[in-house]
């Protein structure tokens, strides 16, 4: 018998091998399945959120119709301690810290986002993103502008770090001022959308630079502008022949989903190809209201992506991040980026280690579907751009073969030949 003869296996033998492998794979997912039972999600807490919503609505004297009106949500953002204490239990120490932080950093929270915060847990991952704490004043190493945006702005309201795309910053206004915000230096004392002249100057710059094929509209939050203002900006970009796609970066599906109206979606649908990236950071933020908003956008044909920020105490845990990504796929949102938290002044307490980010990526690749795996990104200092950070899967490379490590840690030699 030839030494190269093929050993044939019966169907039963093949099935036994497959069953053994299936049991092995079940062990890989066991830890996450157990941990996920204790990770709060917006869907699981929907009844609790409704009770809180009704309490806040009653205390603010709002009708159901007003609550669902994004203009009312904006006009009634909670931004003073007295109102906050009426709506949420705040200790005297917490109140003292909020007052101290208020003297240096602005804060505001939409009534909706307040309704999904825990009232009895100061470490609630939603509450930590919206309510100031004293540690914001203990940051000795953060920078006002770690991305050097002020040195990458060749025209008013423009940030340009790459060859074929740029940002238009159209407003400093948001439904909520996140405590980890990378542009907190722009928040100021009042909401200030870009002037018409500034936006015209930005659009003129794009017209004169034909290599720009991709324009991101950001802020602040551009969806705090009126439908008419957004329509005008998008139309101006549509009329530039070399602009191939437009993107909008908005956190309103997370912090004020009432902003996503049928009128808005009808307007946006006129401006394809158009993409929206939003910013969910924790499974608790993925609520019934968020689903309503993202489903409307998806029905308008708008692809949705998520740009999470890796934040200590909020999502720097492999199980929490995996659960977030799974919840996002349920609401038509594709996990796109995990940004390593930037060293912004007042946010040092949120910054995790890079090792934690890599551990998360190790526990995603192979352990869940590719759709649920975003890129882990570090923004290089000084506005040098996004840098993907990956676990090491390529161990060595030779002329005729490579050595690779799989998601399970198994090492294989693979041919590296080209016919």
Same domain assignment for residues 70 and 179: no
Same domain assignment for residues 234 and 98: no
Token readout for 267 is 């307007």
Backbone angles phi, psi at 395, to 5 degrees: -90, -40
Residue 4 counted as domain residue: no
Residue 37: Cβ within 10 Å count: 8
Count of domains forming the chain? 3
Q: How far is CA 96 from CA 78, 101, 102, in A?
A: 17, 9, 10
Same domain assignment for residues 181 and 218: yes
Please state the rounded mean pLDDT for residues 118-133.
97
Same domain assignment for residues 83 and 211: no
Cβ atoms of residues 32 and 319 within 8 Å: yes
- How confident is the model over 287-329, as pLDDT tens digits? 999 999 999 999 999 999 999 999 999 999 999 999 999 999 9
Residue 78 counted as domain residue: yes
Please report the pLDDT score of residue 3 as a whole number. Answer: 53
Please report the pLDDT score of residue 419 as a whole number. Answer: 65
Peptide bond into 415 cis (omega under 30): no
Same domain assignment for residues 260 and 365: yes
Q: How far is CA 151 from the centre of its chain?
A: 25
- How confident is the model over 93-116, as pLDDT tens digits? 999 999 999 999 999 999 999 999
Same domain assignment for residues 202 and 325: yes
Please report the pLDDT score of residue 4 as a whole number. Answer: 60
Same domain assignment for residues 118 and 199: no
Same domain assignment for residues 406 and 257: no
The pLDDT of residue 342 is above 50: yes
Residue 10 counted as domain residue: no
Please state the rounded mean pLDDT for residues 69-74.
98
Residue 25 counted as domain residue: no
pTM for the full model? 0.95
- How confident is the model over 44-57, as pLDDT tens digits? 999 999 999 999 99
* Final residue before a domain boundary, out of 87, 109, 137: 137
The pLDDT of residue 184 is above 60: yes
* Final residue before a domain boundary, out of 85, 108, 137: 137
Same domain assignment for residues 398 and 381: no
In this structure, what CATH number is given to the domain that contains residue 260? 3.20.20.70
Q: Which residue has the higher pLDDT, 373 or 380?
A: 373
Distance from C-alpha of 82 to C-alpha of 317, rounded to nearest angstrom: 35
Same domain assignment for residues 72 and 108: yes
Residue 26 counted as domain residue: no
Residue 29 counted as domain residue: no
Cβ atoms of residues 206 and 235 within 8 Å: no
Domain that residue 398 falls in? 389-419
Residue 106 counted as domain residue: yes
* Final residue before a domain boundary, out of 112, 137, 162: 137
The pLDDT of residue 260 is above 80: yes
Please report the pLDDT score of residue 196 as a whole number. Answer: 96
Same domain assignment for residues 277 and 398: no
Per-residue pLDDT band for 188 (boundaries 50, 70, 90) equals low
Token readout for 22 is 């299936």
Distance from C-alpha of 278 to C-alpha of 294, rounded to nearest angstrom: 10
Cβ atoms of residues 346 and 139 within 8 Å: yes
Same domain assignment for residues 416 and 369: no
Residue 9 counted as domain residue: no
């Amino acid at each position: 018998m030839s030494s190269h003869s093929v050993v044939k296996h019966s169907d039963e033998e093949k099935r036994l091998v497959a069953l053994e492998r299936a049991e092995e794979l079940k062990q890989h997912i066991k830890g996450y399945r157990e941990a996920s039972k204790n990770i709060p999600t917006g869907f699981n807490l929907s009844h609790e959120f409704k009770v809180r919503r009704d309490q806040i609505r009653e205390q603010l004297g709002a009708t159901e119709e007003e609550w669902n009106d994004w203009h009312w949500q904006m006009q009634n953002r909670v931004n003073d301690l007295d109102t906050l204490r009426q709506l949420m239990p705040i200790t005297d120490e917490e109140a003292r810290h909020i007052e101290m932080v208020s003297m240096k950093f602005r804060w505001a929270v939409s009534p909706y986002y307040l309704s999904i915060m825990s009232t009895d847990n100061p470490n609630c991952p939603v509450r930590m993103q919206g309510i100031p704490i004293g540690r914001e004043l203990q940051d000795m190493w953060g920078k006002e502008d770690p991305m050097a945006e002020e040195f990458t702005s060749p025209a008013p309201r423009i940030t340009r770090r790459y060859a074929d795309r740029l940002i238009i910053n159209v407003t400093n206004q948001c439904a909520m001022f996140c405590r980890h915000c990378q542009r907190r230096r722009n928040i100021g004392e009042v909401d200030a959308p870009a002037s018409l002249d500034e936006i015209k100057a930005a659009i003129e710059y794009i017209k004169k630079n034909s290599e720009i094929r991709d324009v991101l509209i950001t802020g602040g939050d551009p969806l705090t502008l009126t439908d008419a203002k957004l329509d005008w900006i998008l139309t101006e970009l549509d009329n530039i022949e070399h602009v191939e796609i437009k993107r909008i970066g908005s956190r309103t599906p997370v912090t004020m989903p009432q902003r996503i109206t049928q009128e808005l979606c009808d307007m946006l649908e006129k401006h394809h190809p158009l993409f929206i990236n939003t910013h969910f950071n924790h499974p608790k933020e993925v609520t019934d209201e968020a689903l309503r908003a993202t489903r409307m956008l998806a029905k308008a044909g708008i692809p949705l992506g998520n740009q999470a920020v890796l934040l200590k105490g909020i999502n720097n845990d492999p199980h929490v991040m995996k659960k977030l990504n799974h919840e996002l796929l349920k609401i038509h949102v594709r996990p796109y980026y995990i940004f390593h938290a930037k060293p912004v002044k007042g946010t040092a307490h949120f910054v995790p280690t890079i090792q934690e980010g890599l551990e998360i990526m190790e526990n995603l690749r192979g352990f869940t579907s590719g759709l649920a795996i975003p890129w882990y990104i570090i923004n290089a200092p000084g506005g040098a751009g996004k840098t993907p950070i990956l676990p090491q899967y390529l161990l060595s490379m030779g002329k005729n073969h490579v050595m690779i490590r799989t998601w399970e840690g198994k090492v294989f030699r693979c041919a590296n030949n080209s016919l």
